[in-house]
Amino acid sequence: MSDFAQTVKQQADIVKVIEGYIRLRKAGAQNYSGLCPFHKEKSPSFSVHAVRQFYHCFGCQASGDVFSFVGKIENVGFPEAVRIVAQKCGIPLPKREYSSPEEAAGARLRGRLLELHETATAWFEEQLRGPEGAVAREYLAGRGMTPEGIKTFRIGYAPDSFNSLRDRLSGMADNETLRACGLFSAKEQGDGSLGPIYDRFRKRVMFPIANESGRVIAFTARTLETGDKAGAKYINSPETPLYSKSLVLFNLDKARTAIRQYEFALLVEGQMDCISVFLRGIQNVIATSGTAFTEQQVALLRRHTSQVVVNFDPDAAGSNAAEKSIALLTEEGFTIKIVTLDGGLDPDRYIRERGVEAYTAALRGARRQSDYLIERARQMFPGASAEQKVKAMNYLLPHIRRIPEKLTRNQFAADAAQKLGIDSAVLREELHQAALRRRDHVEVRATALNEVERVLLRALSVDDPENEEARRMAIKALAEQPAWFEHLGTFAAMQALAGRQARDPMDVVEDEAQRALLAETLLAETKPPAESEVESAIQEIQERAMEHRLRELRTLIAEAERQGDFTELALLTQQKLELDRALRQLHNPRPPER
């Protein structure tokens, strides 16, 4: 770890940093706990050790320090994690904090692109307020947008010009950077090279897309043109080093606090729906931007909740994207409810026409996913003929199989049989088999620790000089009699800890499973072990090692007898006698003199 990373780690408080992502509760003198962001769970098994500054999940065994947490949750490498933590703690970054020149160049480019987007956002906002923005203001007012709402979402206007944004930004960055930012287009020329850049977004209302930290990384632009000239109603920024469509959930930056508070996310399709619902006070709302969910988006959402209420457009395209999203969320173990608004309205129109109370009521009336799907199956395959029932069932089977939890799966199958009026034993069996077939998730757990190992791990992790003796004793025993410890699952961790100098215990253990065991141990205890505890732990280890050797000797003796090898037999018997005596002495440290 570089000096800079070391400094950041010392100044950062892991509890505060993690609290920026998930909700933590104080769970002990030194511990906090919460729902693990790295696996799906309903009761908290994720712990943060405030003193030793590490986290550990008893459910999925994820553990590490503040950088590992940020790296994992933001899906970035170590250097980037250090930068993020430094920024969160207000520690200025030194010039060189990258592992390679390419990485430094990449980070520099992203930094430049963020600046360009910030300037562009402010400029679009300015254009919306200016004389050219009148038509856009009118459009927004027509959709019920207030000036405050426009300000909250930083909505702007791209004027009808090929070069006004380019002129505004050209002083800020070189041509290559401007080409990379996604705000400009260029025509391919006769020789295959690209011509000069021009503004990509023209005469459009600009909706900024922010990353989870709230910084603008892309735009969605709605045309104000009508007729042939209009082009697509909405166009988005292309993929850039800053923006990847499949990695962003619209409005997550503003919604995440409310999502945690209400313990569910409201998922809508369009950005306009999202903005409209948010501005009317329902703040746990995010949007997929009209396409089906990606795995990365699911992972993003999982950090905040595992419950989703889906309110997609009622049209056919909406239903398809909705079903794909629902399928993926189901596979990932989310609990899903589905809202269908009557009158075939989308969320934006519904909430504007009928008010927020009516919309809230509709949300409360959201149906369980299984009920929704069964209803859909009945609509798609109406009638009571056996053929229709088979079709309806075939439609439902993949949905049932997808559910990770067995009980939920069984319940779904039973409901489907009942509501579809399936009384044929064959069809019931088919549903039952679908419910059975899904392999339940098997958790890989590291081997449990025994008490002796716990004491030794704690002793080896001692930091304060006051309890140095416990540490010294353990190190000495390890150095002098490594054979006693070899068979322990945590032997490698113990060796690493013994040689760790002044470094953090959690930093020196390389093996992930062993680090997890160490984390469990350190979370379970607040005090280092007493010297007497260490002493008896070492003694127990010694005893076990001797007993183990004793068993070996018995086998070897029997073998020597069988082969008639009396020299070997004598040697082994002698060893056994000595070992017996040593063991007796161990049990009675001061045998009476005879």
Residues that bind Zn ion (CB under 5 A): 36, 38-39, 57, 59-60
Cβ–Cβ < 8 Å for 420, 398 = no
Nearer to Zn ion, 38 or 350 (CB): 38
Nearer to Zn ion, 56 or 200 (CB): 56
Q: How far is the CB of 337 from Zn ion (least distance, A)?
A: 25
Q: How far is the CB of 56 from Zn ion (least distance, A)?
A: 9
Q: How far is the CB of 445 from Zn ion (least distance, A)?
A: 12
Separation of alpha carbons 58 and 14, rounded Å: 18
135-166 exposure pattern, b = at least 16 Cβ within 10 A, e = fewer:
ebbeebeeeebeeebbeebbbbbbbeeeebbb
Q: How far is the CB of 58 from Zn ion (least distance, A)?
A: 8
Cβ–Cβ < 8 Å for 63, 39 = no
Nearer to Zn ion, 60 or 181 (CB): 60
CA 305 to chain centre: 10
Nearer to Zn ion, 8 or 36 (CB): 36
Q: How far is the CB of 18 from Zn ion (least distance, A)?
A: 13
Nearer to Zn ion, 314 or 404 (CB): 404
Q: How far is the CB of 447 from Zn ion (least distance, A)?
A: 18
Nearer to Zn ion, 384 or 448 (CB): 448
C-beta atoms surrounding 406 within 10 Å: 13
Q: How far is the CB of 536 from Zn ion (least distance, A)?
A: 34
Q: How far is the CB of 482 from Zn ion (least distance, A)?
A: 34
Q: How far is the CB of 41 from Zn ion (least distance, A)?
A: 7
Cβ–Cβ < 8 Å for 257, 19 = no
Of the CA atoms within 13 Å of residue 246, those in its CB half-sphere come to 5
Q: How far is the CB of 432 from Zn ion (least distance, A)?
A: 32
Among candidate residues 34, 105, 111, 109, the one with its CA nearest the CA of residue 69: 34
Separation of alpha carbons 532 and 450, rounded Å: 18
Nearer to Zn ion, 467 or 521 (CB): 521
Separation of alpha carbons 250 and 291, rounded Å: 12
Nearer to Zn ion, 19 or 115 (CB): 19
Nearer to Zn ion, 10 or 43 (CB): 43
Q: How far is the CB of 53 from Zn ion (least distance, A)?
A: 18
Sign of the Cα pseudo-torsion (223, 225, 231, 232, in order): positive
Q: Which amino acid is at 154?
A: R
Q: How far is the CB of 248 from Zn ion (least distance, A)?
A: 24
Nearer to Zn ion, 38 or 381 (CB): 38
C-beta atoms surrounding 104 within 10 Å: 15
Pairing of strands 31-34, 25-26: antiparallel
171-206 exposure pattern, b = at least 16 Cβ within 10 A, e = fewer:
eebeeebbbbbbbbbeeeeeeeeeeebebbbbbbbb
Q: How far is the CB of 9 from Zn ion (least distance, A)?
A: 22
The set of residues, in sequence order, having a beta carbon less than 8 Å from that of 266 and lying 6+ positions away, is 277, 282, 284, 285, 286, 308, 309, 311, 363
Nearer to Zn ion, 386 or 524 (CB): 524
Distances in whole angstroms, Cα of residue 530 to Cα of each of 498, 535, 537: 17, 9, 11
Helix, strand, or coil (residue 147): helix
Nearer to Zn ion, 44 or 529 (CB): 44
Separation of alpha carbons 505 and 456, rounded Å: 13
Helix, strand, or coil (residue 75): coil
CA 165 to chain centre: 37
Distances in whole angstroms, Cα of residue 92 to Cα of each of 86, 118, 220, 298, 469: 7, 20, 33, 33, 40
Nearer to Zn ion, 36 or 508 (CB): 36
Q: How far is the CB of 506 from Zn ion (least distance, A)?
A: 16
Q: How far is the CB of 295 from Zn ion (least distance, A)?
A: 18
CA-based end-to-end distance of the chain? 60
Nearer to Zn ion, 59 or 489 (CB): 59
Reported as type and span, the H/E element at residue 286 is strand 285-287
Distances in whole angstroms, Cα of residue 72 to Cα of each of 62, 64, 132, 444: 10, 10, 45, 19
SS3 assignment for 313-364: CCCHHHHHHHHHHHHHHHHCCCEEEECCCHHHCCHHHHHHHHHHHHHHHHHH
Nearer to Zn ion, 38 or 334 (CB): 38
